[in-house]
Each structure stands twice: as C-alpha cells, then as structure tokens.
Amino acid sequence: METFSIRIAEEKDAKEIHDIYDYYVKNTVITFSTENPSIEEFKKQIAVTKKVYPYFVAQDSNGKILGFIYGHQLRPHESYKWNVESTIYLSPDAPKRCGIGTSLYKKFMETLSRQGFKYVYGIITSENKASFSMHKKLGFKEIGNFPNAGNKNGKWYGIFWMQMQLGEISENPKEPIPFSEFKI
C-alpha cells in the first residue's frame, strides 16, 4: 500500500496541481472547464484561497503530489459565507483505492468545521461515478440533480449537488475564522 501525507498547499505546488487538472480538462468531462489556467494563475489561486479556505495536497514519500483539495465560497453573496464549495482532484496516476481522496476530504472537512463553516458542497458531473460514491460514503447527501447542465465536446452532461453539514446551525452564527488566521 502506498504511503502518503497531507499538508497545506504552497505556491511551489502550482505546476503539479496545474498538470493534474490539465489531465481532467483535456481528457474527461469530470470538469466542464475546456481550458486549464496557467501555472501563474494556479499560484495566485493557492495564495488567495488560503486567505479564507483550506487548500491541501496529498503527496507520496518522494514529495510527488497525488491530489489536492480546496474550498471557495458557494455563492458570491454575504449570506453564503458559512458555506463552502469543495474542489478535489487526484492525479490520474495516483494509486487507486488507498484512501487518498477520503483522507484529503476528512482533513478538509475537519478544518472547515473547526473554522466555523456550517456546510460543504460537492458539485459532481454525472459521469463521475467514483466521486459520487466517495461523497456518499463520506456522508454527503444528494440535494440536487441537474440534467443537461453543461455541454462539453458536443455532448450534454448533468451535475449532482451533494451537501454535508459540518456544524450546528444557530440564528446568529459566529463568523468563520479565515484560514490565514487559523491554527491547524
């Protein structure tokens, strides 16, 4: 069984993250993106994301990145600040079924919960059966199914919205602690 560790992403990880995402952009409908952002854009994304949300990578014993997960605000309105949309991708050559995705997600959700976020959402394309299964196994509930939500390479695909409650709901919740101020 492959050993791996999880750590906070750094800007120096941008090239490997870019390359992992590039595979999905060019070869799958797991993302509806048709162009991969530049390595420089990934560097900026890592820095900006970590101001508010966690951004983790899994790496093997040689330091090779096997996958990544990060969060961003679900919708742009102030009232959504307790909700986080997750993004997770594993390297196409990462070992299968050894818990990399599950471990990344557990670390991510535990951190979000401690920061004070209330819900995390996964938005999954209908063709991504493995991700749908992993989310269900982690306890996410399917809350929406949008047939024909996106067209990539001349074909229509749906999306599923999955939701996991992270914390207690109250009428006047405390502000989430930004990741840049959070102590892991």
Please, which pLDDT band fits residue 3 given cuts at 50, 70 and 90? confident
Residue 100: Cβ-neighbour burial (10 angstroms; 0-12, 13-18, 19+) = buried
Host H or E run for residue 23: helix 14-27
Residue 150: Cβ-neighbour burial (10 angstroms; 0-12, 13-18, 19+) = middle
For the cut 90, the answer to whether the pLDDT of residue 88 exceeds it is yes
For the cut 60, the answer to whether the pLDDT of residue 65 exceeds it is yes
- Rounded average pLDDT over 17-27: 98
pLDDT for position 1: 47
- The predicted-structure confidence for 151-170, as pLDDT tens digits, reads as follows 999 999 999 999 999 989 98
- How far from the centroid of its chain's Cα atoms is residue 107's Cα? 11
Per-chain mean pLDDT for the chain: 95
- Rounded average pLDDT over 119-146: 96
Percent of the chain with pLDDT over 90: 92
- Rounded average pLDDT over 88-113: 94
- Rounded average pLDDT over 45-60: 97
Cα–Cα dist 124/128, whole Å: 7
Q: Going from the N-terminus, what domains does the chain have, and what CATH number goes with each?
A: 4-181 (3.40.630.30)
- Rounded average pLDDT over 76-80: 92
Host H or E run for residue 97: none
Q: How far is CA 118 from CA 43, 44, 137, in A?
A: 28, 26, 19
**Partners of 4 in the β-ladder:** 60
For the cut 70, the answer to whether the pLDDT of residue 2 exceeds it is no
- Rounded average pLDDT over 13-40: 97
- Rounded average pLDDT over 128-149: 96
CB distance 34 to 9 below 8 Å: no
If DSSP states are collapsed to H, E and C, what string results for 119-164? Answer: EEEEEEECCCHHHHHHHHHHCCEEEEEEEEEEEECCEEEEEEEEEE
Q: Please state at what angle helix 39-52 crosses helix 14-27, rounded to 10 degrees.
A: 110
